[in-house]
Amino acid sequence: MAETDLKNIALLIDADNTSPKGIDPVLTVMAELGQVNIKRAYGNFAKDNLKRWGDISHKYGIRPQQQFDMTTGKNATDMAMTIDAIDLLYQGKVDGFGIMSSDADFTPLATRLRQDGIVVYGFGSTKKTPDAFRSACTRFIDIDALIRGATDEPMRSKEKTNGKKSEIDEDLVELLGTAWKAANRDDDGYAHLGEVGQIAGNRSSFDVRNYGFTRLSDLFRSLDQFDVDMSGGAPKVKRLR
C-alpha cells in the first residue's frame, strides 16, 4: 500500500481506565486500519497513578490532554474524549477510531461513529468492560490478551476453570456455530472459513486475538466442535456437534 493510500486513524485513550502496558500491541493492531496519525491520552496527569502515561507520551507520540478534576464524581475525561471524537468526525479527515477504555460511557460515542460508517476498534479489559460498549464497537479486543500475546503467554479458549470450560467457550461456540449455519455450505457441510469469520464479526465484536490466536483457522482447530479442512485452496470449516 502506498503511503498516500493509508487511511488516517485516530487513537483516543482514556488514561483513567487503561494501562500503558498495552500501547505497543494496540498500535500494532491499529495498523490494520491505516496510519495512526492522531494519538491522544486524556486524564489528570497530576495524579500519581497516571504518571506512567506521561512518561511514555513522547516515546509513542501521544499528546496528553490534561483534564483536571473540577468536581468530585464528575468525569471530565469522558466529556473531553467525546467532544474531540465528534470534532474529528465532522472534520471528515478520520477514517477510523481506536478507543482505549473499559468504560461503558463510551457506548453512545462508538454507536454514533459507526452510524457514519466509521470503523471503531475498542480496547479494554473484557472482565471490566460491559457488554454494551463491547458490542457497540466494530471490534473489541481484550488488552490483557494482547499483552499476553506480546509476551508469548497466550490464553487458549480451552483453558479450564475448576474442571469446567469457562462460559466464554460456550458463548464462542454458539457464536461460531450460528455463523457457520448462516454461511453457504457444500454437500459435505463445509463452509468457507473467511465467510464464517465475516458473519461472526458482523454479529458481534468478535476478534480471534481475544482468545490468544492470530489466525481464525487456529482458533477453529482448537475447538472440538469443529473440523477445519485445509486441503483445498481456501480453508473450510464444518460443525461436528
Q: What is the pLDDT along the chain (241 residues), one digit of tens a residue?
A: 444 456 899 999 999 888 888 898 898 888 888 899 999 999 888 888 788 887 788 888 999 888 876 655 457 788 899 999 999 999 998 999 999 999 999 999 999 999 999 999 999 988 888 999 999 999 999 998 888 876 654 444 444 434 333 344 787 888 888 888 888 898 889 898 888 888 877 666 678 887 878 788 888 888 888 999 888 778 889 988 7
Q: Are strands 96-100 and 226-229 parallel, antiparallel or unpaired?
A: unpaired
- C-alpha cell of residue 164: 469446567
What are the Cα distances from residue 212, in Å, to 27, 47, 154? 17, 33, 5
Q: Which residues of 34-47 are buried (b: 16+ CB within 10 A; e: fewer)?
A: bebebbbbbbbbee
- CB-based contact 223:240 (threshold 8 Å): no
Note the pLDDT of residue 151. Answer: 62
DSSP assignment string, 168-210: HHHHHHHHHHHHHHHS-B-TTS-EEHHHHHHHHHHHS---GGG
Domains of the chain: 3-150 (3.40.50.1010), 160-239 (3.30.420.610)
Q: Which residues pair with 64 in a beta bridge?
A: 41
CA torsion 77-81-83-88 (nearest 10°) is 160
- CA 241 – CA 238 distance, rounded (Å): 9
DSSP symbol at 233: S
- CA 204 – CA 214 distance, rounded (Å): 18
Q: Which long-range CB contacts under 8 A does 224-229 form with residues at least 24 apart? A: 225/173, 225/177, 226/176, 226/180, 228/193, 229/190
- CA 41 – CA 48 distance, rounded (Å): 15
DSSP symbol at 100: E
Scan for cell 475498542, then name that residue. 122
